[in-house]
Amino acid sequence: MSSPIIFHIDVNAAFLSWEATYRVKVLKETLDLRDIPSAIGGDIEKRKGVILAKSIPAKKYNIQTGESVVSALSKCPHLTLAKPNHKLYVQYSKAFIEILKDYTPLVEQCSIDEAYMDMTGTEGLYGSLINIAHIIKDRIYNELGFTVNIGISSNKLLAKMAGDFKKPNLVHTLFPEEIEEKMWPLQVGDLFFVGRATEKKLKMLGINTIGKLAKTDINILKAHLKKQGEIIYQYANGIDFMQVIHETVPHKGYGNSTTIPFDVSLASDAKLVLLSLCETVCTRLRADKVKASCISVTLVDTYFEYSSHQKTLTSATHVTNEIYEYACKVFDALWDQKTPIRQLGIHATKLTDRNTYQYNMFDMFKYDKYEKLDKAIDQIRNKYGEKSIIRAPFLVPKFDHMAEGTSKDKKTEMTKVYDD
């Protein structure tokens, strides 16, 4: 039996790379944003918002992802700023994922600019895995115009850590026998699942490097960090049992998450994102003729701290309005109403294919009405594309109305981008 081989693919400075690629390949501009101090920012006219991505030349001015546009301009007054175009980013994201699927069907997209590939047993097809990683990396650049880093290891954690080594446009390995040399000297804040708050706590304990974390008594970590202490101890030692999740396995749940184009500080904006996620999740539930009775919401804040909360429903459902209503209640219980949000996700579990519903005597007709409405909407979208019918809150295109959707019209637009 072949040893596990996992690739982690990460687009370098994704939003800026995609904007630059579009301008050079499609708009035929001669100036490449990647070659000058530049960034993707918020509302440039009002000098508000935050930096979402920056070029390598911009790094020389110590411009940081997540800092305010005003702060970035104070460091580099001649910084070239571009508005975020999430619709364009989704198109490029889908295009690079399609390339990955040419090499293995076992592809898990974990964010708009990251994916895992399970390449176990493919040595007989491709030979050297390092060589095929270079082929994939170069093909993405030659066909789509932007660069990626690829990390290779025997599990997802180490592959991701490898992919975060020196950038851009490189391939790195981090197998268990390489951990002590390549990973342990890194700062503890570089370890996956260690956010700024956790890093601060670890440094107060005198734990500055991943190597020192790996050698710390696990009981000390659990005493100060509870369950997270146990998780990061395992990660520091390269232990990870997560599998690459892909669409060919039977569903135990349906989920979707999205990295938001800007840090969200308003509950109304966050709930719009939740609505777009509910649209895609519930569409998939109905397509597979199943219902869910447990809804969970996941959140990653601006400091990369992860949290989640869930709620069990009175009766299993696949109605978008109902699941959205529960998701909002879970979100209100989860978020502290202060810390800006970077990523949101929704997961529907405890599935059933039974066509029953426990009515609430106070709104017993609402479920039937919404179920019929959803069925009609699904039919229209299947025939004419996802954009053929959208909810009123998305008429002003602040967020995509179906986060990470797979509409036919979007695929057509992407084809036009590369044919031009």
pLDDT in tens, 119-145: 998 877 777 899 999 999 999 999 999
Tokens encoding 292: 């869910």
| Statement to judge: residues 209 and 326 lie in one domain | no
Instruction: Please state the separation of Cα 330 from the chain's center in Å.
Output: 20
| Statement to judge: residues 161 and 32 lie in one domain | yes
| Statement to judge: residues 104 and 44 lie in one domain | yes
| Statement to judge: residues 305 and 365 lie in one domain | yes
| Statement to judge: residues 229 and 322 lie in one domain | no
pLDDT in tens, 255-292: 888 877 778 889 998 999 999 999 989 998 888 889 99
Domain-located, residue 48: yes
Query: What is the domain-level CATH number for residue 369?
Result: 3.30.1490.100
Give me the DSSP letters along 341-380: EEEEEEEEEEEE--------TTSTTHHHHHHHHHHHHHHH
Domain-located, residue 244: no
Tokens encoding 13: 């400075």
Domain-located, residue 372: yes
**Which residues are CB-neighbours of 38 under 8 A, at least 6 positions away?**
16, 20, 54, 55, 57, 58, 79, 80, 81, 82
Domain-located, residue 248: no
Query: What is the domain-level CATH number for residue 82?
Result: 3.30.70.270
Tokens encoding 232: 């990061």
What residues of the chain score a pLDDT lower than 70? Answer: 1-2, 42-49, 246-251, 355-367, 395-399, 403-420
| Statement to judge: residues 217 and 292 lie in one domain | no
Instruction: Identify the burial level of 177 via C-beta atoms within 10 angstroms of its C-beta, where 0-12 means exposed, 13-18 middle and 19 or more buried.
Output: exposed
pLDDT of residue 54: 92
Indicate the number of domains in the chain.
3
Tokens encoding 124: 């007989």
Domain-located, residue 178: no
Q: Of 274, 254, 253, 279, give the one whose Cα is nearest residue 264.
A: 274
- Choice among 114, 199, 371, 404 that is catalytic: 114
pLDDT of residue 247: 56
| Statement to judge: residues 156 and 300 lie in one domain | no
Q: How many residues does the chain have?
A: 420
Domain-located, residue 241: no
Q: What are phi and psi of 333, to 5 degrees?
A: -80, -25
Give me the DSSP letters along 207-241: --BHHHHHHS-HHHHHHHHTHHHHHHHHHHTT---
Tell me, what amino acid is at 196?
A: R
| Statement to judge: residues 84 and 189 lie in one domain | no
Query: What is the domain-level CATH number for residue 213?
Result: 1.10.150.20
Tell me, what amino acid is at 393?
A: P
| Statement to judge: residues 362 and 285 lie in one domain | yes
Contact at 8 Å (CB) between 159 and 8? yes
- Give the gyration radius of the chain's Cα atoms: 22
User: Can you list the alpha helix ranges (DSSP code H) found in 68-128?
Assistant: 69-75, 86-100, 123-126
Domain-located, residue 71: yes
| Statement to judge: residues 38 and 156 lie in one domain | yes
114 is catalytic: yes
| Statement to judge: residues 33 and 84 lie in one domain | yes
User: Can you list the alpha helix ranges (DSSP code H) found in 116-266?
Assistant: 123-126, 129-144, 156-163, 179-182, 196-204, 210-215, 218-225, 227-236
Domain-located, residue 16: yes
Domain boundary (118, 148, 171) is at 171
**Which residues are CB-neighbours of 250 under 8 A, at least 6 positions away?**
none
Boundaries of domain holding 217 = 184-236
| Statement to judge: residues 138 and 276 lie in one domain | no
pTM above 0.75, yes or no: no
**Which residues are CB-neighbours of 312 under 8 A, at least 6 positions away?**
293, 294, 350
Task: Report in angstroms the alpha-carbon separations of 181 from 102, 177, 185, 211.
Answer: 33, 8, 7, 10
